[in-house]
Chains A and B, each alone.
Chain A
Amino acid sequence: MSIRFQLLIIALTTLVLPWAGCQYARELETTLRVSQENSLQAAAATIANALSAQPQRVFRDVEDREAFNANQGDLYAFSLHNQPLLDGYREDWDLAVGPKALPTAGTLGARLQAGFTERYLFIYLEVDDPTFNPEPSDVHPEQDRFDRVNLTLQRPEGALESYFFATGAPGLIEAQSVVKSDDGIDHAALEPRIQAFWLQMSRGYHLEVRIPRSLMGPRLWVEAIDGAGGGKAGFMGAETLRGGRVFLTTPGLNELLATFIGPGTRATVIDTNGLKLGLAGSLTLNKEDDQREAGGTWYRRFVAGDTSHWPLQVSAPDHIEGQSVAGALAGHRSAEWLRADPSQASLLSAAAPLLVGGQTLGAVVLEQAGDQLLELRDRALIHLFNLTLLATALAVAIAFGVATWISVRIGRLRLAADTAVTNDGRIRLDMPESDRADEIGALSRGFERLLARLNEHTQYLRTLGGKLSHELRTPLTIVRSSLDNLESEGVRADQRGYVTRAREGVLRLQSILSALGAASRVEESIKQAERVNFDLNDLLQSAVAGYRDGFRAARIEIDAPPDACFMHGAPDLIVQMLDKLVENAVDFCTASGTITVRLTRALSNYELAVSNDGPPIPPGMLNRLFESLFEHRQGVDDKPHFGLGLYIVRLIAEFHGGAVLAANRSDGDGAIFTAILPLI
């Protein structure tokens, strides 16, 4: 794993910052939720206390402690936002709930719903009566069989008043009451203040009734009667004053409530059945995804608490349910988080009991969008997130940059270390980065010291030959001059063999020393070499003639241009170079092989190639052949080899500004050494 990658991973650990930010944001959210719960509960309790001081402004009848009971005919009147048209349709009531079925005697089915505006109470009745029995023109309510709807009102002063609705022609009608006329006969009298619309349908009829609230007391009973004798549906408890209570928002309560709450909060006053008595304010619920920037939701994915377990808000127009409501009705403050029904937006509901005379008569329910919190949290979080992400990105970028810088430097150092020992065996002592104060600089300096040591060692080895040949010379001279003396003194014939052998040994030693010192002598003569213009071709011809003389066993051929090849250089050195190349070729040439000395002229240089038949050079050695003290001969012959011959060749070629190359012949049966010598 590269340093760059390692540091990148280390830098990525700064991602813990955004994670910590998320944790913090979650805690923040929890804290905010709790405080919102508390404050909303407190607000609910305040409102409840204020309201319980004036129960008459809350409850229809403070004394009436009896719970709402729909089965007894208690009727909840919805608060209508708009004045409906009296047309037999309830679509313009704009209510989410449908009418409730009335208890029936017989087969007649009927459904009832009530609503009110500021001035009117509206009653809507659906009756499943396909056959329309019209009201006769001269009606006798006690005898005539016709479809009708009875309505009994308790007047504000307590008196009961009965009306009925019937018609001969469906349409806009008025309520009729049965009055005894002066003649003592019951007859129907119109009550024009109570109007209705009779809409006859194929399955039955709809009746939409409008009653001025000034005519109304606390109770009201409705009963539909099938004129064909199909039966009755509805409640008629007027005789016993049982049921029939109309529950509707206490007048003025909405306004009163509105004074308590701020925007974005909805306050509802309910009675013990959860029926809404008063309502003020409205919720501004945000839809989850629409109104928020995409980034916000993206962040929320990571951090938002799971709200899916929250109960759905039960939002019926007439009542409220839920834990908070149940808790408040049980007598204590409570709060609950809900999800709004279609939008899933979070919603806080807090409820406080409405205590009158130590008895819970209802509750104040405050609802508030929880999304404000989310917004708050999101804003903080997005800031935090952006900052920490920025910090992380910065840290990663810096780490990456530093790592790149370091690895580039190390790479440079590695490259320098790889190439510190050049192909020709020289050692480059200067390493990059060595002037830096840090560890890489120290490493580089370590390398430099190591290379310097190696260089000293190499230098020592290189000069060892010359030194040895010099130092051994004196003792050798002593031996040889002693032998000379010995021979001059006269040696006995039986001792002559020893002397001869000693002399041979001395000669061999001398040739070894000579070979050892060859390189330093060449270096010496290179220092003093003079350059002249000479004919390389001529030199070659005469030198090869000499080699043919010297190496009689070898077949030496020459391949050179016919004309003169002038160059500027030291001919003696060129001859020495050629000597070494030819000696080398002779050593490796097969017994019957040929050595070819070839001179070719290129644009700016001569190529002097000596090739021989023989074994190819192992590929790994090709580059090292020209190093000082490199010897790859494996066989043993009578001459000492110190790996200096080809080194001398290189020295001479380089002195002339040229180079020398070793290669195997393309036919694989020999080696070829080429010296490239510039013309000038």
Chain B
Amino acid sequence: MRKQIAIVEDEPALRENYAAALARQGYQIKTYGNRRSAMQAFDTHLPDLAIIDISLEDEAEGGFDLCRDLRALSAEIPIIFLTARDSELDAVSGLRLGADDFLTKDVSLPHLAARVAALFRRIDALRRPDNAAQVVRRGALSIDGEKMQATWNGAPVVLSLTEFWIVHALARNPGHVKNRQQLMDAANVVLDDNTITSHVKRVRRKFQQIDSAFDAIQTVYGMGYRWVE
């Protein structure tokens, strides 16, 4: 059965472009222009994945409310936030609304498709028994590439997909400096330097919430970041 993706986006042109690109990947697309129509539809039928714009028509943060309501309906459905502004990324991550990824609208369609695919893959992986081969361990860190989950000292670290891919790229080759471009490639995003910096900062903070002594991601100024054990 084809996976159904709901796109909630008030800009019709973008909506149609996203829909076309994802439909080409074989997904079934439902598009909504505002929170009410989307929520009405979700009440009767849940999609397999939702891509939600944060500001919806007259509701500047309507996407947040929609996300919260959707999460209440289903704990498992993958949700991707799309934002027009970089600064909203911080707000979103601060709100911990249970979204799986946060993207700026700069993301290219192939990148979007890639992470949609990744999220579906993760759903599948979570349903399968553990596959130890996919687990990479680096000291206190263990990352499951398939389920796209990371733990630190055994405690799960809740990372968005972009964040997970950044950690994954760094931890796979400890000691190697990954510059920003490499991190972007790994995370399937095109971001400016500042946004990468704030992503890394957020990742650090999430680890530090578990272990305040966390110091494994090192900044190499002018070059990038590296994982140290």
Q: Which chain A residues have a beta carbon within 8 Å of chain B's beta carbons?
A: 470, 473-474, 477-478, 480-482, 484-485, 488-489, 510, 514, 521-522, 524-525, 528, 538-540, 542-547, 549-550, 571-572, 575-576, 578-579
From B17, B20, B24, residue with most partner A Cβ within 10 Å: B17
B87 at the interface (CB under 8 A from A): yes
Closest to A548 in B: B222
- B192 lies within 8 A of chain A by Cβ: yes
Identity of the chain A residue whose Cβ is nearest the Cβ of B108 in the assembled complex: A484
Q: Are B109 and A546 in contact (CB under 8 A)?
A: no
Is B109 a contact of A484 with CB atoms below 8 Å? yes
Determine the chain B residues whose CB is within 8 A of the CB of A542 once the complex forms: 220-223
Q: Report the nearest B residue to A544, measured CB to CB.
A: B222
| CA A338 to CA B66, docked complex, whole Å | 121
B86 within 8 A of A: yes
Of the candidates B21, B87, B109, B222, the one whose C-beta lies within 8 Å of that of A547 is B222
Task: Looking at the assembled complex, report how far the CB atom of A595 sits from the nearest CB atom of chain B, in whole angstroms.
Answer: 14
Does B57 lie at the interface of the complex (its beta carbon under 8 Å from any beta carbon of A)?
no
Q: Is the beta-carbon distance between A480 and B108 smaller than 8 angstroms?
A: yes
Task: State in angstroms the CA–CA spacing of A405 and B198 once bound together.
Answer: 57
Q: Least Cβ distance of B199 to chain A in Å?
A: 12
| A547–B222 CA distance with the chains assembled, in angstroms | 7
B110 interfacial contact with A, CB 8 Å: yes
* Contacting residue for A473 out of B17, B105, B219, CB 8 A: B105
Report A618 CB to chain B, min CB distance, Å: 31
Assess whether B220 is in contact with A572, with CB atoms less than 8 Å apart.
Answer: no
B187-229 residues with Cβ-Cβ distance < 8 A to A are 192, 194, 197-198, 201, 219-223
Query: Which of B86, B106, B220 is A510 in contact with, Cβ under 8 Å?
Result: B106
Asked if B18 CB lies within 8 Å of chain A CBs, one says yes
Q: Which of A489, A525, A545, A549 has the most CB of B within 10 A?
A: A525
B140 contacts the other chain (Cβ, under 8 Å)? no
- A549 — nearest CB in chain B belongs to which residue? B223
Identify the interface centre among A522, A528, A547, A572: most chain B CB within 10 Å of its CB.
Answer: A572
Closest to B111 in A: A484
Interface residue from A484, A539, A549, A572 paired with B21 (Cβ < 8 Å): A484
Tell me whether A525 and B194 are in contact (CB under 8 A).
yes
A571, B219: Cβ atoms closer than 8 Å: yes
Q: Which residues of B contact A540 (CB under 8 A)?
A: 221
Nearest CB on B from A277, distance (A): 127
Known interface pairs A522-B194, A542-B222; 6 further A-B residue pairs with C-beta atoms within 8 A, sorted by A's residue number = A478-B14, A481-B17, A525-B194, A571-B219, A572-B201, A578-B222
Are B85 and A470 in contact, with the CB atoms below 8 A? yes
CA distance A433 to B17 in the complex (A): 60
Question: B20 contacts A474, CB within 8 Å?
Answer: no
Q: Would A477 and B106 be within 8 Å (CB), given that A542-B222, A571-B219 are in contact?
A: yes
Name the CB-closest residue of A to B14.
Answer: A478
Interface centre among A478, A550, A578 (most CB of B within 10 A): A478
Instruction: For residue B184, give the distance in angstroms from its CB to the closest CB of chain A.
Output: 14
Residues of B within 8 A of A524 (CB): 86-87
User: With the chains together, A179 CA to B193 CA distance in Å?
Assistant: 164
A470 adjacent to B84 (CB under 8 Å)? yes
CB distance from A606 to the nearest CB of B (A): 15
Given A473-B84, A542-B223, A575-B222, do A488 and B198 touch, yes or no (CB 8 Å)?
Answer: no
A425–B13 Cα distance when bound, in Å, is 41
Within the complex, what minimum Cβ distance (angstroms) separates A551 from chain B?
A: 11
Set B13, B24, B86, B222: member contacting A545, Cβ < 8 A: B222
Q: Are A546 and B223 in contact (CB under 8 A)?
A: yes
Contacts of B108 in A (CB 8 A): 480-481, 484
Asked whether B21 lies within 8 Å of A488 as measured between CB atoms, the reply is: yes
Partner of A546, one of B85, B87, B221: B221
Query: Does B11 reach chain A (CB closer than 8 Å)?
Result: yes
Would you call B21 and A545 a contact (CB within 8 A)?
Answer: no
A545 and B223 within 8 A (CB): yes
A525 and B84: CB pair below 8 A? no
Q: List residues of chain A with CB within 8 A of the CB of B24.
A: 485, 488-489
Cβ contact within 8 Å between B84 and A488 = no
Q: Is the CB of A575 within 8 A of B86?
A: no
Q: Are A572 and B223 also in contact (CB < 8 A) when A473-B105, A484-B109 are?
A: no
**Nearest Cβ in chain B — how far from A370, in angstroms?**
102
Chain A residues near B87 (CB, 8 Å)?
A: 524
Cβ of B130 < 8 Å from any Cβ of A?
no
Interfacial chain A residues near B21, Cβ < 8 Å: 481, 484-485, 488
Q: Across the interface, do A528 and B192 meet the contact criterion of CB distance under 8 Å?
A: no
Which residues of the partner chain A approach B197 to less than 8 Å between Cβ atoms? 525, 572
Q: Check A474 against B221 for contact (C-beta < 8 Å).
A: no
Is the C-beta of B76 less than 8 angstroms from some C-beta in chain A?
no
B residues with a Cβ closer than 8 A to A are 11, 13-14, 17-18, 20-21, 24, 84-87, 90, 105-106, 108-110, 192, 194, 197-198, 201, 219-223
Cβ B223 vs Cβ A474 within 8 A: no
Closest to A511 in B: B192
B109 to chain A: which residues have CB within 8 Å? 481, 484-485, 488
Contacts of B85 in A (CB 8 A): 470
Contact B194 A575 (CB under 8 A): no
Assembly CA distance A572 to B142 (angstroms): 28
- CB <8 Å contact, B84 and A478: no
- How long is the Cα–Cα vector from A544 to B105 in the complex, in angstroms? 33
| Inter-subunit contact A521/B219 (CB<8 Å) | no
Rounded to whole angstroms, the CA-CA distance of A485 and B221 in the bound complex is 37
Question: Could you say which residues of chain A place their CB within 8 Å of the CB of B106?
Answer: 473, 477, 510
User: What CA separation (Å) do A652 and B144 show in the bound complex?
Assistant: 40
Question: Are A521 and B221 interface neighbours, CB within 8 A?
Answer: no
List residues of chain A with CB within 8 A of the CB of B201.
572
B90 touches A474 (CB 8 A): no
Question: Would you call B17 and A543 a contact (CB within 8 A)?
Answer: no
Question: Nearest Cβ distance between residue B33 and chain A, in whole angstroms?
Answer: 14
Q: Which residues of B contact A576 (CB under 8 A)?
A: 194
Contacts A514-B192, A543-B222, A549-B223 hold; do A474 and B84 have CB atoms under 8 A apart? yes
Q: How far is the CA of A303 from the CA of B105 in the complex (A)?
A: 97
Q: Are B105 and A474 in contact (CB under 8 A)?
A: yes
Contact between B17 and A478 (Cβ–Cβ < 8 Å)? Answer: yes
B residues less than 8 Å from A522 (CB atoms): 194
Q: Which residues of B contact A525 (CB under 8 A)?
A: 194, 197-198
Provide the residues of chain A in CB contact with B221, threshold 8 Å: 538-540, 542-543, 546, 571, 575
Are A521 and B222 closer than 8 Å at their CB atoms? no
Which residues of chain B are within 8 angstroms of A470 by Cβ–Cβ distance? 84-85
Closest beta carbon of chain B to A638's beta carbon, Å: 18
In the complex, the chain B residue whose C-beta lies closest to that of A538 is: B221
For residue A572, which residues in chain B have a CB less than 8 angstroms away from its CB? 197, 201, 219
Would you give 15 A-B contacts (Cβ < 8 Å), ordered by A? A470-B84, A477-B105, A478-B11, A481-B14, A484-B17, A485-B20, A485-B21, A485-B24, A488-B109, A488-B110, A510-B106, A521-B194, A524-B87, A572-B197, A575-B222
| A538 nearest CB across to chain B (Å) | 8
Partner of B13, one of A478, A539, A575, A578: A478
A477-B14 contact, Cβ under 8 Å, with A485-B109, A488-B109, A514-B192: yes
Q: Which residue of B lies closest to A478 (CB)?
A: B13
Measured CB to CB, the nearest residue on chain A to B220 is: A542
Residues of B within 8 A of A480 (CB): 108
- A550 to B109 CA separation, bound complex (whole angstroms): 29
| Complex Cα spacing A470 to B86, Å | 9
CB of B67 to closest CB in A, whole Å: 20
